[in-house]
């Protein structure tokens, strides 16, 4: 069975339909990123990850990692793959050209990242985290910090990490106890323990730049007293090269369900007196700075949900076309046929395909909205900023929940063979299952949506988005082929309005009511927004058919079909979600904790 194949046609279709690339490339900032240029980049980018990274995925998972007091050894096949990655210069796709980046829009990077993830989800976390660290330093770092660290991070010679979580704190960053004591030379001595640090220690880059949340001695309690520090694994010498080892070490790595080749580290700072670090941004404003990296990571995790799902889907389609079993119902043909000709297998495959396209459209639209916000001024910029705020938790949570569903369905297509490691699809399920958990669990994303994002401008920001989504109904009018799609979406929009009004009203009266229904509410928003973007996909595909587009009629007709399937067969689930959203918190507490624990 073939390794992963970058779905270049699908990525480019999403770029020109959900990614607003023509509008973005008309702006001075992204003038170099016209569609034809990006298509050429994607051709080479996809070839690289198909040929260089994809073959390392299964061997890397099988070999795993080795920890010792000297560090972490990654799978042998990763060494050459990473060296070729650095040589090719792919790390800097969306990063600042002043420090060696290519300066492409976020939407180009986001779509390209799907191929990085699909080819090797475990290894993809190294460049993904480094990109987030670079973006943070581009925004918050001093000029000296940028000059000293960004060029080598953008080249991929050095990597970056995000250090938030501590053993006693979990997701409650305000309980952080890591200390940062100021020194006379302007540096700080960092002491404390951080857990769940992806690629916190490894042997692929010559330095690791840790971004660490910590408290200064007189800092206020809670999140208001958190500052951010840059702590390199190796201190730099006078020439800017890695020199003496800093006082930070990996004391263990986690043994995980999936992403076996991605080291998840426990890092100890200051065992020998204190790791030397430097303040990034202002003191006590560290969480604001870290959100630059966290929000980038949340979009990236949403893309991860799609990328792993696509890899699993490819295996399922290949297997269904090859596996011969059973006669075809309704056919006079004698003998067994490939299972792809059976209705329920077709249902599973089309469901997977439609879900993947919907999640790809959502993360693409979100990434393009980031670009629009960054290249727009005044009130228009505010509108795009608000859309980014609203859709970030939805993209992270809904796209990863859907990703888990899709990879699980891929196993089902294989039947018993899917449960066997040799099939390869089991690894995708194991790798995928972390995505709803990290970068803020999906429950936290749902709480963020109803608690922080819905109240933006007293709900007016979400109302503007809902109004924008409804505009697609006018575009669908009079198209017989899409009449059922329009009806389904119209009903879903009504359901969304009803649920949103209930959450806004009851959340003000008792926040527990809004939080009790937050997760099904986020799913409702995801399904509805996904339906909106899939309807736009169908309309765009029809226009391209009329214009005789190069992708061909059959390919574009399939885009219409998957959009119809999503809107007509998957979006109606929203009607079953409203009772959970509007039930309130009462029933959740009718059984006390002791009774829940009893058998």
| Distance from the Cα of residue 137 to its chain's centroid | 20
Q: Are 243 and 232 within 8 A, CB to CB?
A: no
User: Is 439 a catalytic site residue?
Assistant: yes
CA angle 259, 261, 264 (to 5 degrees): 75
The 3-class SS string of 318-387 reads: HHHHHCECCCCCCCCCCCCCEHHHCHHHHHHHHHHHHHHHHHHHHHHHHHHHHHHHHCCCCHHHHHHHHH
286: which residues sit within 8 A by CB, 6+ positions away?
213, 214, 226, 227, 228, 229, 280
Give the helix/strand (H/E) hosting 233: none
Task: Spot the catalytic one: 439, 495, 523, 568.
Answer: 439
Can you name the residues that pair with 231 across neighbouring β-strands?
210
| C-alpha–C-alpha distance, residues 191 and 372, integer Å | 40
| C-alpha–C-alpha distance, residues 395 and 304, integer Å | 11
| C-alpha–C-alpha distance, residues 411 and 31, integer Å | 43
Rounded alpha-carbon distances, angstroms, from residue 454 to 220, 389, 517: 29, 10, 14
Question: Which tokens hold the place of 64?
Answer: 């795993």
Give the helix/strand (H/E) hosting 192: strand 188-198
Q: Are 136 and 212 within 8 A, CB to CB?
A: no
Give the helix/strand (H/E) hosting 172: none
Closest to 313 in 3D by CA, of 399, 416, 396, 428:
428
Region label for 458, one of left (φ > 0), alpha (ψ between -120 and 50) or beta (otherwise): left
Question: Which tokens hold the place of 14?
Answer: 């999403």
| C-alpha–C-alpha distance, residues 386 and 379, integer Å | 11
143: which residues sit within 8 A by CB, 6+ positions away?
none
Q: What are phi and psi of 327, to 5 degrees?
A: -80, 150
- Catalytic residues, by residue number, are 439
């Amino acid at each position: 069975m073939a390794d992963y194949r970058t779905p270049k046609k699908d990525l480019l279709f999403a770029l020109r339909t959900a990614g607003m690339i023509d509008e973005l490339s008309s702006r001075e900032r992204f003038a170099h990123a016209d569609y034809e240029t990006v298509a050429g980049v994607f051709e080479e980018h996809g070839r690289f990850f198909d040929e260089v990274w994809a073959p390392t995925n299964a061997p890397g998972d099988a070999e795993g990692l080795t920890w010792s007091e000297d560090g972490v050894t990654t799978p042998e096949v990763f060494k050459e793959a990473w060296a070729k990655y650095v040589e090719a210069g792919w790390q800097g796709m969306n990063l600042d050209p002043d420090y060696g980046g290519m300066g492409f829009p976020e939407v180009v990077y986001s779509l390209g990242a799907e191929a990085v993830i699909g080819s090797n989800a475990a290894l993809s976390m190294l460049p993904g985290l480094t990109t987030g660290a670079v973006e943070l330093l581009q925004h918050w770092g001093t000029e000296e910090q940028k000059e000293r660290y960004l060029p080598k991070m953008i080249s991929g010679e050095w990597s970056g990490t995000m250090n938030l979580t501590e053993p006693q704190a979990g997701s409650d960053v305000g309980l952080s106890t890591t200390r940062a004591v100021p020194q006379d030379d302007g540096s700080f001595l960092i002491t404390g323990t951080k857990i769940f640090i992806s690629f916190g220690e490894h042997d692929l880059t010559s330095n690791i730049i840790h971004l660490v949340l910590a408290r200064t001695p007189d800092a206020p309690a809670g999140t208001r007293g958190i500052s951010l520090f840059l702590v390199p694994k190796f201190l730099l010498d006078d020439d800017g090269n890695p020199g003496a080892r800093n006082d930070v070490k990996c004391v263990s790595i986690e043994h995980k369900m999936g992403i076996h080749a991605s080291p998840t580290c426990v890092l100890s700072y200051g065992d020998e007196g204190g790791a030397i670090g430097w303040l990034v941004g202002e003191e006590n404003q560290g969480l604001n700075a870290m959100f630059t990296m966290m929000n980038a990571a949340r979009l990236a995790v949403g893309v991860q949900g799609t990328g792993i799902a696509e890899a699993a889907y490819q295996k399922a389609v290949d297997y269904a076309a090859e596996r011969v079993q059973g006669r075809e119902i309704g056919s006079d043909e004698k003998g067994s046929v490939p299972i792809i000709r059976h209705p329920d297998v077709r249902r599973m495959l089309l469901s997977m395909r439609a879900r993947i396209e919907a999640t790809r459209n959502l993360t693409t639209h979100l990434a393009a909205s980031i670009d629009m916000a960054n290249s727009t001024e005044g009130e228009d910029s505010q509108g795009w900023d608000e859309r980014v705020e609203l859709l970030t938790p939805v993209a992270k949570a809904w796209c990863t929940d859907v990703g888990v569903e899709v990879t699980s369905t891929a196993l089902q297509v294989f039947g018993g063979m899917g449960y066997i490691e040799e099939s390869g699809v089991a690894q995708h399920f194991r790798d995928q299952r972390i995505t709803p958990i990290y970068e803020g669990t999906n429950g936290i994303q749902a709480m963020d949506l109803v608690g922080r994002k819905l109240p933006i401008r007293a709900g007016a920001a979400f109302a503007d988005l809902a109004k924008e989504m409804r505009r697609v109904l006018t575009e669908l009018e009079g198209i017989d082929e899409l009449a059922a799609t329009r009806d389904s979406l119209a009903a879903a929009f009504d359901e969304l309005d009803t649920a949103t009004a209930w959450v806004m009203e009851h959340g003000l009266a008792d926040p527990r009511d809004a939080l009790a229904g937050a997760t099904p509410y986020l799913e409702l928003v995801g399904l509805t927004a996904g339906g909106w973007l899939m309807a736009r996909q169908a309309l765009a595909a029809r226009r391209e058919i009329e214009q005789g587009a190069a992708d061909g009629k059959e390919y574009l007709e399939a885009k219409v079909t998957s959009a119809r399937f999503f809107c007509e067969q998957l979006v109606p689930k929203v009607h079953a979600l409203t009772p959970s959203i509007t039930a309130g918190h009462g029933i959740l507490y009718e059984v006390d904790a002791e009774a829940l624990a009893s058998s």
